[in-house]
Amino acid sequence: MKTRITKTLLDSWAYTFDCYEGGEEDAMNDFLKTLNREPIEENEAIANGKAFENLVWDIAQGHEVPPGKWNEGARKVAEIVKGGQWQVHVDTDLQIGDRTFWLHGFCDVVKAGVIYDIKFKAKSFGSLDLYGSYRGHSQHSAYLRCLPEAYEFVYLVSDGEDLYTEAYNRHTCRPIEEIISDFMNWLESKPELLKIYEEKWVCDG
Amino acid sequence: MIQHGYELDFSKQTFGVILYGAPGIGKTTLALSDGNNGGDTLLIDLEHGIGRTNPVHRMNANVLSASTYEEVLNDLNTPEAFAAKTIVIDTAGSLVDYLKDWAMRTKSDAKTKTGAFNGLKGFGYVKSELESFVNRIKTVMNKNVIFIFHCDEKADKDGNPIQRLRCEGSFRNTVWTGIDFGAYIQMLGNKRYACFTPEDEFFAKGCHGIEGHVEIPNLKNDVPNDFLAKLFDTARKNMQAENDGVAEQMQIYRGAVEAAKDMVEGVTDADTANACMKALLSLNHALTSKKEASKMLNDKCKTLGLAFSKAEGAYVAGDAK
């Protein structure tokens, strides 16, 4: 049996251990929704993220955009990603122990050996400590594994004005096999959740 | 002057560096370690801390002391500043404090009615002036720039220590984007290390082969203070080697992407799409050009109402499913 695995599932699981104090129940509920493949309700953060990404896309394509409060930040991101390909599907099969996984996802932009992921933060950078905040995410490990021709993964983080970048390569990211192994070990200690995973995430065919 | 990528020479490449760590760990002395000739380094000593370094290790530096941001700017226009290879900002957190003072004195809305700093407006001025200051040193003056930060030990949610840059405003985040190396300086046993690879306790940044824990020599009076000079030399050599290795790949990549654009442009129906798919595969590919070319074709096919049929291994009209 081959099962699907995505960065969304792995990150929602990891967040149950790394969420803010008092947010454990919400984090577990979100993970269970993801595990059950329930659609994620669009909230303000998701809508803002999409709107910002669309703005970057428009600017990168050379389209005229009306004046807006995020234009400066979007221009800084567009300058980096213009000429790249957007929403590139990447995937690979992984054999970990006696299980086979289909690891897949969509890269925001791929350009000249670099995978870019665009993030939007509604809070101003002055109130955040961003550096290092993506180190524990599985996305860079997963996508660099799926696209061996890429040598770097860069998070492009904007608050609509400033740009913060955080880059990872194969030397500085945790192997995705380790992350998946940790996840499966945890899941195997919870048979009722393992059953859901094996039912809902089984690959067709 | 326009040069091909393969012609680039990195022997005079300049770098941006963050050094941070606990008080007394030797950040300032380390920051003065790029240059053995008098005047190679200009230290902007905003915390008046130069006296805490060993005189032997600071003799080759010029020291800029100032009591206002305007004085710093004036002194950056001197021949000593232009002659320096490296400019050290000690500390970046203090530079933000100097800029807050400057904003309060020169911008009426950077101050509240009670005379306090108006964070909302004031940090806008600080940020834009700081950007222009750093750009001037790095881009216009083309210097190595070294930002020293104090650090604050905080606790993560599980109570484990994490080290954060001590600096108000957004600069503690945005500074990482424009720098090449960011090192957390720490003692491990009785040795000092500059750590260039991020760990759970601290963030760091390395590139051009500079990574992991690099031991900092224990300086005695007869040991030259040249840690950064050697590190920059190594990075320059690695950059040259990387460039020479990648230049050919980049040429192939660009050729493949340009050819793919032309081929995809000519796709009008399923037959031309399938011919194009074969032609794209036969191109000489490098880096991610194959993946990008395939995405270009897929996007074009979508606009033509074509979908890829896994069963047929080809593009077909309509919904392949």
Q: Considering only the beta carbons, identify the residue of B172, B173, B288 that sits closest to A112.
A: B288
Tokens of A13: 């699981």
β-pairing, B213-216 vs B191-195, is: antiparallel
How large is the average pLDDT for residues B36-56? 84
Q: Is A91 on the interface with B (CB under 8 A)?
A: no
Q: Distance from A26 to chain B by nearest Cα, in Å?
A: 16
Query: Where do the domains of chain A lie?
Result: 2-200
What integer pLDDT is reported at residue B107 of this predicted model? 94
**A19-22 long-range contacts, Cβ below 8 Å, gap at least 24?**
A20/B157, A21/B157
pLDDT tens per residue across span B94-129: 999 999 999 999 999 999 989 899 988 999 999 999
Question: CA separation (Å) from B20 to B99, B247, B317?
Answer: 21, 34, 60
What integer pLDDT is reported at residue A139 of this predicted model? 97
Looking at chain A, the whole-number percentage of residues with pLDDT higher than 70 is: 100
Residues of A in Cβ contact (< 8 Å) with B249? 113
Q: Is A61 on the interface with B (CB under 8 A)?
A: no
pLDDT tens per residue across span B272-316: 999 999 999 999 999 999 999 999 999 999 999 999 998 999 999
Can you give the length of chain B in residues?
A: 321
**Cα distance between residue B247 and residue B244, in whole Å:** 5
**Higher pLDDT residue, B282 or B61?**
B282
Q: Determine whether A196 is exposed, middle or buried from the number of CB atoms within 10 Å of its CB (0-12, 13-18, 19+).
A: middle
Q: Across the A/B interface, how many CB contacts are shorter than 8 Å?
A: 82
What integer pLDDT is reported at residue A125 of this predicted model? 86
pLDDT tens per residue across span A62-121: 999 999 999 999 999 999 999 999 999 999 999 999 999 999 999 999 999 999 999 999
What integer pLDDT is reported at residue B5 of this predicted model? 67
**Cα distance between residue A166 and residue A171, in whole Å:** 14
Residues of B in Cβ contact (< 8 Å) with A15? none
On whether the A2-200 domain is CATH 3.90.320, my answer is yes
Residues of A in Cβ contact (< 8 Å) with B177? 163-165
What integer pLDDT is reported at residue B177 of this predicted model? 87
In chain B, which among 159-218 make CB contacts under 8 A with chain A?
164-165, 168-170, 172-174, 176-177, 197-198, 202-203, 205-206, 211
